[in-house]
Structure 1
Amino acid sequence: MLDYVAAVTVTVGGRALPIGGVALPNRRLVLRWLRRQALRLADGHGRDPARGAPWLGARDVRPVTFHGSDAPEALRAWAGDHGSQDHAMSALESGRPALLTVVDPFVGLGVTLGAWPVDLCGWVAAASADHPYPPRTEAEGA
């Protein structure tokens, strides 16, 4: 049973573009996946995304090119802050979404990491029908 969904989107010029997502059975796994993606995105700062493609795992988000260090540092800070992780865990436990948006102020690029319970707004049914990059399940990502 898949109880939680996580997704990462990039917003540029008012358009939100999904760059990856997963559906997992519990909130700890969802937050672990989001932390991993936050660190991967931050650690990719300053590298050529085309050369970074071989290190993409089956369930990892696509790389993002940041033009400044503000967004990567905010991603690193969130991933390493126990208080932020506890707050996200509490939100998910109470049935609310856990969201983080960081912005690259040089180009107005926003990256949003989000997780929420599957039953929240019927997201999974809508994602499988309309979403160009629906979240993959554990079995699909293996």
Structure 2
Amino acid sequence: MTDVEYIAEVFAGDAVTTVYLGGSVAPSRRLSLRWLRGQALRFANALDPDPYTEWIPPQALQPVTHTERSAPAQLRFWTTDDEHQDHALHKLAVGIPYEFLVHDDACWYALTARPVLAPALAPFSGALARA
């Protein structure tokens, strides 16, 4: 007998390098997506912090020229978009891996989740413990 678990992972990179940023194993697809949403917000806030945050010294952040793509904006949008979340839940429910990829002028970021079969643990037996 087997159970399904969900592996959620995050990656980043550029044209040359891929970096593994972290992962999580969750007992349900909803929990794996919740973890991915938390990571997406963490990345977005690290890449594009609120300039009025207390821990940022005055004048530490400077505006950049407008780029066509904003990875932080795309990551924030993904976390709140019901259509994206429903699509991810559906794919995972039928056993298909899910990936959301964003990029800007310099880097890319990938949020991934996939179902894996995990062996079910046998029920604890006191007889085995005494043997």
Distance 2:48 2:92 in 1: 33
* Cα distance between partner residues in 2 of 1:12 and 1:94: 31
Which residue is equivalent to 2:109?
111
More helix by share: 1
Q: TM-score, normalized by length of structure 1? A: 0.64
The question of whether the paired residues in 2 share the 8 Å contact of 1:2 and 1:23 is answered with: no
| Identical pairs, percent | 38
Which structure 2 residue ranges, 5 or more long, are not aligned?
50-54, 56-63, 118-131
- Distance in 1 (CA, whole Å) between partners of 2:15 and 2:85 is 29
Q: Deviations over 1:95-129 (max 9, x none)?
A: 00111011021x2x11000000024xxxxxxxxxx
Residue 80 of structure 2 corresponds to which residue in structure 1? Answer: 80
**Match of residue 22 from structure 2:** 20
CA RMSD of aligned residues (A): 2.0
Q: 1:43-80 deviations in whole A, cap 9, x for unaligned?
A: 12245xxxx9xxxxxxxxxxxxxx86700000001100
Q: Which amino acid aligns with 1:14?
A: V
Contact 2:4 2:115 in 1 (8 A): no
Instruction: Name the structure 1 match of 2:71.
Output: 71
Distance between the aligned counterparts of 1:71 and 1:92, measured in 2?
24
The equivalences for 1:17-96 within 5 A come to 17-47=19-49, 70-96=70-96
Partner SS state of residue 13, structure 1 = coil
2:128 paired residue number:
none
Q: TM-score normalized by structure 2? A: 0.69
8 Å Cα contact 1:2/1:24 also seen in 2: no
In structure 1, what is the Cα distance between the partners aligned to 2:17 and 2:47? 22
Shift of 1:16: 1.5
After TM superposition, where is structure 1 displaced by more than 3 Å over at least 4 residues in a row?
A: none
Task: Give the length in aligned residue pairs.
Answer: 99
Where 1:111 maps in the other structure, the secondary structure is: strand
The within-5 A match list for 1:118-129 is 118-119=116-117
The whole-number CA distance in structure 2 between the counterparts of 1:82 and 1:37 is 17
Q: Which one has a bigger Cα radius of gyration?
A: 2
